[in-house]
Structure 1
Amino acid sequence: TLLFIFETGSCKDHRPSGQERQPLPEANAEAIDFLNSLQPEELPMLFFSETLAMVSDTGEPRGELTIEVQRGKYKDEMSIMSQCVLVHAFSHGLLDKTVCGNSLLGYLSQTLETMEQHSREFIKFLILPMEHKMSLLKQNDQLAMTRSIKEGEEVKTGVAFFPSHSITGFISEAANLVLLRLMARRQKVPQNARFLALDTEGKLCNSTYRALGFQNIQVGHQQSEVFIVEHTVHSNEGIPMSWQFYMLCDGHLAKRIQVGSPGYCIITKMPILRKEDVVEPKPVFEKKPLEWQEDLELYSKFLERKEELRLSHASYLRQHPEAQALVSDFLLFLLLRQPQDVVTFAAEYFGPFAANRPPSPPLRSSHRPSPFRSPDPGDAAGSGAGWAP
């Protein structure tokens, strides 16, 4: 259900129950599939800023429009920080010599789902200035919308809540700007796709996109081909509103026309088109054998290091003569016994010298099992016939 409340001072006027039960519009499968086809690697190519001039139907300058899409961070109601698409757009100009303008700030997910959006539109009439504000905020399983309409000193506010399941395929104003860039880069508009949007009264309705083909237009001092997309918001109660967007191949907006409006927006000079970086394969270097003996510098370092180690070892043995005696005694005993398992024999020989080994009894059996050998019942000699040093 949709709850909508208007407040004027302390008075509240609820919508009639018949309107509350009216079914909400839905996006179709073509629209949802197109949104799901958005790949993460496509987003960075949509991050750039652009500025267009607002002109009248006679070509006279009326103001300026700036659109910026970039990577950002968003903190949700649980204070969890995540990556997002940040959209910032604003314009200011003159309408019949009256100052007007609007601003838009939106936070979108990687799939263009609206997490938060704030928009403002104003017309500074001398007698009755007007200001419209709208905020969208995703809260758990619903999208909350707050609208404020100020005419002179009178202020009306409205609040609406849309369940999450009812806004699948919803395209906000911020998401629309990113979606148009994506369509321009792909040079493709989904056929028969029906998205969701909000009309001028803040009511949920359907919106569609239609490709009008290609056209060459004059941009500065050169001709450029543009891809034309028509976006229409189909209000359930009012007349449809349509815009035509003339997009360059990389997503830059060359021209924007609101159908029925006397003015339009256009770029004044050709921007630097964004191209995808071609990732070249990493070079593969064959592994060559190192002939260090033939390298005079390496061979000289080898001889120096060899002599340095020989002198160091000789000095250590002179300082510790017991080491040489211990090794000589082991080698002599090894040659006398000539065991098959030299490693186990060495472990049994040097085992009693371990500092953490418990002291051996003065008398012990010659058949006592050795901890260094695997028990073998069929081999008495191999079961650990140790020796006493």
Structure 2
Amino acid sequence: MSSKLQSTGPKTKDNQPSAQESVPAPKANAEAIRFLSDLEEEELRMLLFSETLAMVSDTGEPQGELTIEVQRGKFRDESGVMLHCILVHASSRGFMGKMLCGNSLLGHLSWKLHVMEQHSQEFIKFPVLPMEQKMSLVKQDDQLAMTRSVKEGEEVKTQVTFFPGSSTMGFISEAANLVLLRLMAWRQTVPSNAHFLALDTEGKLCYSTYQDLGFQKIQVGRQQVEVFIVEQTVHSVKGIPNSCQFYLLSDGHLAKRIQVGSPGYCMITQMPVLREKDEIEPAPVFEKKPLVWEEDLELYSRFVDRKEELRLSHASYLRQHPEAQALISDFLLFLLLRQPADVFTFAAEYFGPFAKRHPPTPALRSSHRPSPFRSLDRAPRSRAGR
């Protein structure tokens, strides 16, 4: 991993590389990597929908609005190929106390939740020193490029970091996290002992874990609904862990979000129409019944008609070719005289000379056996030799 830090403004400093971390870079464990590799596009398509939540203060007063939209999109990679992907767009705008704040997120994900490109922005309008932070993640060849800029007043600090592809296996971006939470709600389960990777508030790779907090009933409008609670914790390298609790409906809709340590929260104001899993009915099984064609009037009638048709056809052929009748009579007479043990070989040898073209291999394997005619041919030659 390499990074560069640049600062501009009244307190401009020379470009200098960031201090090397003494702590080894975190790596996602096998459970997290396996969980992402087993994702199926068909299942993720059920999670494509939009939702809106109200931002509420600890006293219950509305402070703003949060919208999350997940849909199918297209992304053009570095080689110019257009790829189908998951498009995630989220934004919020409200007040923190009396200060205006907001953030926006736009991300393109593969169907394995790998980040292709992501852009995020966050701002807080402090009266004295407004703060704004921007971050971009772009996949370049076999590495992930991160550009992070922080603006405080008139001073802007920009940091560019490159993460090798091997170090980002199991990485969950902000956009991927929104889809992953919906998937956990849809499955009603959290991957056990999975340690994913995420970025902390300083743009450093760190561990991200999910914990199943069970089910609970909450009030939404005039009805009570059961929600599945998942707590995500981002374990910052230097700072304290950052935890957030998500109250999810059965189809992945976010009913409530609580930032641990924050006085406000986000809550849906009306119950959405829940999606249900399609129940595939088993294919009907038909028992196979034995066919007794003699008892079937239609089949038996066809059999009789075909039998009579063949009999008339054979009789007509024999009338038109009297030589065939003579040939068959000679064969039967010779057969009764010789009485061979192998009738098939005898017939093959008898009718063989009548064939116009002899095949390279005998038509019947049994023709390799000793022929009853050969003994008749050898006898005169043996007497002549004497």
TM-score (normalizing by structure 1): 0.71
Residue 219 of structure 1 corresponds to 220
1-side partners of 2:231 and 2:271: how far apart?
22
What are the within-5 Å matches in structure 2 for residues 242-261 of structure 1?
242-261=243-262
1-side partners of 2:5 and 2:138: how far apart?
17
> Cα distance 1:336–1:205, how it changes in 2: closer, same or farther (>3 A)?
closer
Residue 162 of structure 1 corresponds to 163
2-side partners of 1:166 and 1:339: how far apart?
90
> Structure 2 residue aligned with 1:14, among 17, 38, 42?
17
Q: Is the 8 Å Cα contact of residues 48 and 70 (structure 1) preserved in structure 2?
A: yes
Deviation (angstroms), 1:99: 1.3
SS in 2 for 1:111: coil
What are the within-5 Å matches in structure 2 for residues 178-257 of structure 1?
178-257=179-258
Consecutive unaligned residues in structure 2, runs of 5 or more: 287-297, 299-318, 325-355, 361-386
Q: Is the 8 Å Cα contact of residues 7 and 13 (structure 1) preserved in structure 2?
A: no
Which amino acid is the alignment partner of residue 3 of structure 1? S
Identical-pair percentage: 67
What are the within-5 Å matches in structure 2 for residues 1-389 of structure 1?
1-8=1-8, 11-16=14-19, 18-19=20-21, 22-280=23-281, 374=357
2-side partners of 1:87 and 1:67: how far apart?
8
Which amino acid is the alignment partner of residue 15 of structure 2? K
Q: Is the 8 Å Cα contact of residues 3 and 159 (structure 2) preserved in structure 1?
A: no
2-side partners of 1:278 and 1:168: how far apart?
34
Which amino acid is the alignment partner of residue 5 of structure 2? I
Q: What CA RMSD, in Å, does the superposition of the two structures yield over aligned residues?
A: 2.6
1-side partners of 2:109 and 2:262: how far apart?
29
| CA offset digits 1:104-155 (Å, max 9, x no partner) | 0011111101111000001122332211000000111100000011112111
2-side partners of 1:376 and 1:157: how far apart?
86
| CA offset digits 1:345-389 (Å, max 9, x no partner) | xxxxxxxxxxxxxxxxxxxxxxxxxxxx75899xxxxxxxxxxxx
Which amino acid is the alignment partner of residue 7 of structure 1? S
2-side partners of 1:33 and 1:246: how far apart?
25
| CA offset digits 1:157-183 (Å, max 9, x no partner) | 110000010111000000000000011
Deviation (angstroms), 1:6: 2.9
2-side partners of 1:36 and 1:68: how far apart?
24
| CA offset digits 1:297-316 (Å, max 9, x no partner) | xxxxxxxxxxxxxxxxxxxx
TM-score (normalizing by structure 2): 0.72
Residue 321 of structure 1 corresponds to none
In the alignment of these two chains, the number of paired residues is 299
SS in 2 for 1:143: strand
2-side partners of 1:244 and 1:109: how far apart?
25
| CA offset digits 1:6-65 (Å, max 9, x no partner) | 33357212123x43x642101111211222232222111110100000000010000000
1-side partners of 2:133 and 2:142: how far apart?
26
Deviation (angstroms), 1:191: 1.5
Deviation (angstroms), 1:280: 4.8
> Cα distance 1:336–1:250, how it changes in 2: closer, same or farther (>3 A)?
closer
Q: Is the 8 Å Cα contact of residues 88 and 105 (structure 1) preserved in structure 2?
A: yes
